[in-house]
Each structure stands twice: as C-alpha cells, then as structure tokens.
Structure 1
C-alpha cells in the first residue's frame, strides 16, 4: 500500500514544535486566562511525558490551549475570547455531566436512518470517522429521537473522541495524535435534501468550529452528486481557510485516493474496503480503543497527551479529559459526532 501523503508543516504550532514567539504567546495565554479564573497552573514539578509535553497538574494541558491559539492564528485577544466562550458554554451545557451519564438506547434505530460512527484508524493513527448523510431523513430521525438528544449525543461523542480515543491512539502509535480522519458519504443525496438539513448542518458546524477547534486532520467527501458545487459554494463561507484546505471532494471513483491515507482493512466493504464487522461496521465501534491492553497502558500514565488535571472550581476543561488514571473505563461509543458536511470532527 502506498504511504500516506504527509501534511506540510503539520506539526507547526503544536506541542514540541513551537517557535520562540509561539512559546511566548502560550505563556501569556496561560497568564491572562489565570487572571480571569479560567486556567490554573500546576503545583507539582514539571516532567516530560512520552510525547514531549510537560505535565504539571495544570487545569488544561498545552495541547488543548494550543488548539485555541492555532484556531485564531495565535492572536492572543481572539484566542482568549474563544477559549472563555467555550468554557462558559461547557458549564451551561453541563458537558462533563453529560459525558459521565449520557445513555443512548435509540442508537440502533438512529443508525438505520443516519449512520455516524468511528471505525479503526487511518495510516497516521487518527481515529477514522464515517458519516453517511445520504440516508438522513430528518422526519424519520425525529420520530426515534429528538433534536436536543442529537445535539447532546454530538457533544458526548466529541468528548469521547478527546478523552477516550485520542489517548489510546497516541499510546498505540507513540506520538501525539490530536485529530480525526473523516469520510462523508453523499451517496443518494440530492440537492433538495441539503436544503432540508440546512439548520442541522449549521448548528453542528458552529459547535465544532467554536468549541472543538483544530480537531480535523483529513476530510474526504465522497460520492459527491451532480451540481454539488452549488451546495459547496453555500457551505464554504462558514469555514475558515485552513479547514477548507483539508477537505477533498471526490466522486464515485474515490477508492484510490482513500487508500493513500486509509488502510483497506480499516475501510468498510460498503466503502470499497475490506472490513466486514459482525453486526455491521457502523455498530461495531472497532478500533484500538476496544483493545483492553492498549487502554490499560494509556490509563496507567499519570497524564496523557490530551489529558489535563481536574479543572479549577469556576471553569470546566475546554474539551479535555481528566488524567487517564481518573477516567472511567473507556465506553463503547454510541454514535459519532456529526461533522455535518464540513464541521471539525472530532488532526496529528
């Protein structure tokens, strides 16, 4: 199999690869957030983790803070505003409570109408996320669930992506993995259907870009229908330039391109791959996060690449987990967050 195509400057602005100016900006970012009560420095001596980051018991790890800085091109004022808005939203939405208590008994019924699922990893170790928008019928969907529960599920799956999947993938590949590889299948989608799901797409895109920034690594739109350019021109204005550059739009001849980045064994047979999970790939949650030995190793660390110590009293962690030692056992994901055609999904 051909090797994956490397991203140019993929590590710039990330843990272990900061310019002196970026390192100074991160320091100032922490200081200003601390003044306003949204960041707490660690009290223990700093030590290097296996990924090159410093683990001090701070309320938020460097990888998380850098996601917000990169999202606003290291503009301190804009990054701080984005981060604080996210923290306030997390508290209002009760994100941590949802992560710990959310149940989704309608999963199987929803999957038949709108398959959204994680399935193994790409060649760089990113969790592979697949969404089949062509099957979505909102009228049928809201007979088996509600818009509120769909949004809650979306948030919970972003949290599981960050708290459970990424640490395990990072452990397995011995490097910091911060992003996903997404496939959006538009098989069977017509232009009229896009307009029907417009509000849902906008809501999911807003949530992902504002509260879970810099989590998209690769994004493939496959089976793009005739006249898809009309829809794409409508969607693009919502997205920043960096996000747009990560998206590849492919027609039905997508297999060769996908296999440059994704092993055939990770692709479901329904997408021209080789995998046939018992009970269907969309319900299997197959991936290294189901390997008990890898999960145990990830949780044996005092802190992990995307983990942080418990947040200070007035601020909840901005889409980061408690230390692996404090995390509950990794649950089988019930569904996956919906990139909704272009949102950040739950990139290394």
Structure 2
C-alpha cells in the first residue's frame, strides 16, 4: 500500500496550475485525455480554458460586455428584450475547449440513452466537473453522476433554498466563525473558516448537525448558482472555483471529538461526491504541532486530488496569502486591511460581487431571458430572492448595530454628564462642610 507521501509524488500537477492567476494555457501533457489505466492526474484549474478571447478578436458591440460594465443601466434595460450577447455568453459559460466539449457531449448522450432524467443538471459545466473528477472515465463519471442525482432527490436539495429558514445564522457564525469574503486576485470567491475558534458544544445547543449540513448544502448551491456567475461578471471571465483559508490556530487531537468527526466526514463526503472540482486552492494556516499530528489523520479521509490543492502553513503565512489575495479582500485578523465594521465583522458581511445590486439585476435579466427562451437559468429565482432577503437582513443588522452604538454612546454621554454633576455636588458638599466647620469654630470662640 502506498503511503500518503508516495501518493503525492504520483500526482501530476501542471506548472502554474495551482492558482491559475496567469491565465496561461497549460502544456499539452497536462491537458485531460481519454485514457484508462494511467496514473490519475490533477487537471489544471477548471477556469483554464474559460477565458475571454483577446479583445481585438471581437468587433465592438452596443451590447457587448464592455458596454455592460460602462453603461449598466442601458444594458439592463435592453437585456430584458434581447438574447444574451456573445460576450456575455463567453463570460457566464466560458469558452469551451473542443476536446472537453466532445467528451461532455458523449457523456450527455450516454446518460440520456439510458433514460436518466437530468432536468437542468445537464449543462456543460456540471457534466465537465464530474468527468474531471473521474479523470474523464465515462463509466466512473456516470456512476458518480447517478449517485449525485439520487442524493439530490433523497436530500431534497432543490427545495432547500425555499424551505430552510436558518434563523440561527448569526449565532452559528458566533460559535463556528466562517464565511465568504471578497475574491482572490483571479476573481474567485474567498472562503474562510476559523476552526480554532469553533465551540462545537455551544454550536449544537443552537442548531443540529443535520440542520448545519443542510445549511452547508444551501451555501454550496448558492455558490454554484449565484456567487460564481456574479464573480464571472465582475472579473470579465468565467469563474468556477473557490480559494479557501482554514485557520487552525490552537487545533489539535482534542478538537477531533466524535461529533466533530461526524460533522467533518459528512461535509467532506458531500463536497467530494456531489460538488467536485469546485476548490481551486486551500491554505491551512497557523498549523502548530498539534494540528500537524491531526493532519495525518485527516489526510486519510481525503483523496489525492484534494490533497494536491492544499498548502499547510505555519504562523508566517501572510506573504503566501497576499500573493493570491489583495489586502483589501483579506480580513485584518489574517493580515489584511478589511474589517467590515459596519456588518459586525468580515465573516458576517458575505462581502463579494454577489451582493452588488447592479450585478444581481443583470443576473435576474439574464435568468428571465433564458426562461423566455427555454434555456437553463444562470441563477435561480430562489437564490436571487434569498439574496435580496439576506441583503435586507444585513442592512437591518447594520442599522441595529448603528442604533445600538448610538444608544451606548448616548448612555456613555449621559453617564459622563451624571458623573460631572456628582463631582460638582461633591465639591459643593465639601464647600458646605468647610463653611459649617468654620461657623462651628467661630461659635466656639465666641
């Protein structure tokens, strides 16, 4: 049996593929091929072939992407009456690689011939992710995809955005600090967890593992249906994966209790089996000796493909993060400049292009246009409505925080004023005492 280190050496990673910030096309040796019985390879970042063609190759258009960003109001008004432009299609769908396109078409036909109802899950991106995860082995990809369809039906995934009222959201964030915050230099969403601050016993007093797992699935769906399309528009190129940061300061074997193991394995199983190829890179930071022992255990739950995307760092990690993420998108507790003070902290803000009102309106217009033409929507109405609801809640929390701050400031001012009055009364009392003492002394002398 191969040791984890031996497995790592077998992994083939393309040069520059870790972050994909350069946008360079990988060498032919690292491109996926239909081959069986070979060493499993780690394919380049999933966005590699999904780039906007050079600007000079396209003629300017009144409704092109450049016009979209320069004149968003004009574009939104016209987009409801027109089909998507070529540039919008490239941004939201990506420029398909011909070899991948051919394999995806074969995979789709294979599924349809067998009579499997795919619904709106037969799009190019979804099928390609499963093919990549199974190294373009059609038989294995089919088995994985069918398991995915069954899980969605059994778990009721499509109903979660409408039915899950996760009212314990703010409390969960308190005991399990996590959240999306900004984008990396390529335009991918940045996801952060502070595992060292998780208090699982307190978390399980306000929610259940089952509800937390459902919430996690809802966030994964939101990322696919809303965050990725919004980031694609903001970055002007197709975005289909995340950059994640795991802060494990203080984490050791004692944190890996039975409930923690169950929660970890459930989430890991869901992410690996049902949301493959959505992670670009994971930074594990503040890894002390306790975590490094635990890491040896955790690695046994992960496949070689995932391990190749993970970089374990100690306490000197800031330069590594700043290479990939601008300081404006990095929270101050990770060495960046952002505090999101208006929202009570960076992990409560859900900061990102998916909260930009203009981008949300563009996605709504695109979704409406697609529905009118019988096409698959980029972002479902449920997620867009939830987005508006969540934004409303964030504004309410922000206003509540401001009101609370003003109340505290008013109380502090009143307290200071009262303190001043008390000091004045004490001074007057002291003066009165001195006067009375003087009068008493005078009476004694008389």
Would you say same fold, with TM above 0.5? yes
Which structure 1 residue ranges, 5 or more long, are not aligned?
42-57, 311-320, 335-348
Map 1:128-147; keep pairs closer than 5 Å. Answer: 128-147=190-209
Does residue 280 of structure 1 match 2:310?
Answer: no
The match for 2:104 is 26
Does residue 117 of structure 1 match 2:179?
Answer: yes
TM-score (norm 1): 0.79
Distance 1:59 1:234, change over 3 A: closer
**Of 346, 357, 363, which aligns to 1:298?**
363
Instruction: Give the C-alpha shift of residue 251 in structure 1.
Output: 0.9
Does residue 229 of structure 1 match 2:229?
Answer: no
CA distance in 2, matches of 1:16, 1:190: 44
Instruction: Give the C-alpha shift of residue 325 in structure 1.
Output: 7.2
Distance 1:76 1:304, change over 3 A: farther
Answer with 1 or 2: which has the greater Rg: 2
Q: Secondary structure at the match of 1:301?
A: helix
Map 1:77-88; keep pairs closer than 5 Å. Answer: 77-88=139-150
Q: Deviations over 1:154-186 (max 9, x none)?
A: 110101111111110011112110011101011
CA distance in 2, matches of 1:138, 1:165: 28
Distance 1:267 1:4, change over 3 A: farther
Q: Which has the higher helix share?
A: 2
Which structure 2 residue ranges, 5 or more long, are not aligned?
1-18, 27-43, 51-93, 394-446
The match for 1:317 is none
The alignment of Structure 1 onto Structure 2 pairs a total of residues equal to 303
TM-score (norm 2): 0.63
Query: Are the aligned partners of 2:252 and 2:294 in contact in 1 as well (CA < 8 Å)?
Result: no
CA distance in 2, matches of 1:17, 1:297: 23
CA distance in 1, matches of 2:271, 2:247: 19
Map 1:81-96; keep pairs closer than 5 Å. Answer: 81-96=143-158
Which stretch of the first structure deviates more once superposed, 186-195 or 261-270? 186-195
Distance 1:4 1:91, change over 3 A: closer
CA distance in 2, matches of 1:93, 1:256: 41
CA distance in 1, matches of 2:217, 2:121: 21
Instruction: Give the C-alpha shift of residue 6 in structure 1.
Output: 4.3
CA distance in 1, matches of 2:369, 2:97: 19
Distance 1:224 1:309, change over 3 A: farther
CA distance in 1, matches of 2:316, 2:369: 39
CA distance in 1, matches of 2:22, 2:321: 14
Q: Which ranges of 4 or more aligned residues in structure 1 deviate by more than 4 Å?
A: 3-8, 11-15, 302-305
